[in-house]
Structure 1
Amino acid sequence: MTASEDAHLAELCGRMEELATPSRVFVAAGRFTEQDPDLPELAVRIRALLAEAAKDQAWRRFLPAYAPPPVPGVCAALEPLEAAEAAPFLTTLATVDLVWPSHRHRSAGSAARAADRVVALLGPEGSWWTNHDASCGAVNGLTPLFDSLLAGTDGRHYAVALQIADD
């Protein structure tokens, strides 16, 4: 990787970390190692983040035997999201609690700045996926808890954010 590519990856990872919150909003970002990655390779990264969230001390008791869905199951749960909708959705995912919408996990302004930059780093041709069906508002749950996921890729890099909650 060149210094420019290293800086790009470092900024992507750093901006995603700005969106994370302890035990609620989990994030991952990186560069694919596979050639010509597509949705299945992104699903592998999503599975890894789901597994990480399930190991979090706050959630282990709710997910004692949980194993993330296999890659085809993750792929089947995902719906495409228009690039123009990615930053607002990512901002909401990082700020608004799934169960208690009046509760905020972080400042909407700082989350919006980080989300806007993440989307810009993946570029206008980036592909975005969520487990929400935009046409009807339904959620294809990836965990037995309430969850909301957004994943994006530019074909070289990926960014994944997951919020989990339980009432």
Structure 2
Amino acid sequence: MTYSAVTPMGILAGLEVGMAELSTPMRVYVAAGRFTEPEPDLPELAARIRLLLAEIAADEAWRRFLPGYAPPPVREICAALEPVEMHEAAAFLAGLAAVDLVWPSHRHLPAEVAERAADRVVSLLGPEASWWTNHDAGCGAVNGLTPVFDSLLAGTDGEHFALALQIADD
């Protein structure tokens, strides 16, 4: 199935299925959807990221690690984001879903499963999609969105979005 052959509802369903395959309990949280705002841009994507962060903060498994945590405002999330090159998006997404942030030798998903799902998600968003992370590739730092370890990849084709965030505490 190619990107151009997929209907808008088919894209959304495909994104939801692909992102669900990348999710793991208490570690990798995902979201996929379709924007309702006209001409969404980075602030609208950051607002979706903020909703995902709020979902994590409300998760009983993370409440004890995040006492009093409230997701940062949209403007701070925007400031934390760095672009990811299109050709790096699938590998980044697969790694985020499969490899533990704190213990890289631990796998959350088999590499093949993560790679297949990540390739599908990136393909569905298409070659013109924009991808963002909270990693600063220039210096290797992470602009944390939570008080614990986190790693985010967010993509959008301007109509749909896909988010994956791994969270960890040592």
CA-CA distance at 1:7 after TM superposition? 1.6
Q: With structure 1 as the length reference, what TM-score do the two structures score?
A: 0.97
1:106 matched residue in structure 2: 109
Q: CA deviation at 1:5?
A: 1.7
Identity %: 73
Match for residue 139 of structure 1? 142
Structure 2 residue 62 is matched with structure 1 residue 42: no
In the alignment, the residues of structure 1 paired with residue 79 and residue 11 of structure 2 have an alpha-carbon distance, to the nearest angstrom, of: 30
Corresponding residue for residue 74 of structure 2: 71
- Matches of 2:90 and 2:147, distance apart in 1: 26
Structure-2 separation of matches of 1:57 and 1:92:
25
Q: CA deviation at 1:4?
A: 2.3
- The CA distance in 1 between the partners of 2:12 and 2:38, in whole Å, is 17
Residue by residue, what CA displacement relative to the aligned partner does 1:55-113 show, whole Å, maximum 9, x if unpaired? 11211011121000000000000000001000000000000000011000011101100
Structure 2 unpaired stretches of 5+: 1-5
> How many Å separate the matches in 2 of 1:33 and 1:25?
25
- Give the letter aligned to residue 102 of structure 1: S
Q: CA deviation at 1:8?
A: 1.6
Matched residue, 2:128:
125
Equivalents in 2 of 1:4, 1:87: separation in Å? 22
Q: Which runs of 5+ in 1 are unaligned?
A: none
Measured in 2, the distance between the counterparts of 1:29 and 1:98 equals 22
Q: Superposition RMSD on alpha carbons, in Å?
A: 0.9
Cα distance in 1 for partners of 2:8, 2:130 equals 19
Q: Partners of 2:11 and 2:155 in 1: how far apart?
A: 15
Report the 3-state secondary structure (helix = DSSP H, G, I; strand = E; otherwise coil) of the residue aligned with 2:167. Answer: strand
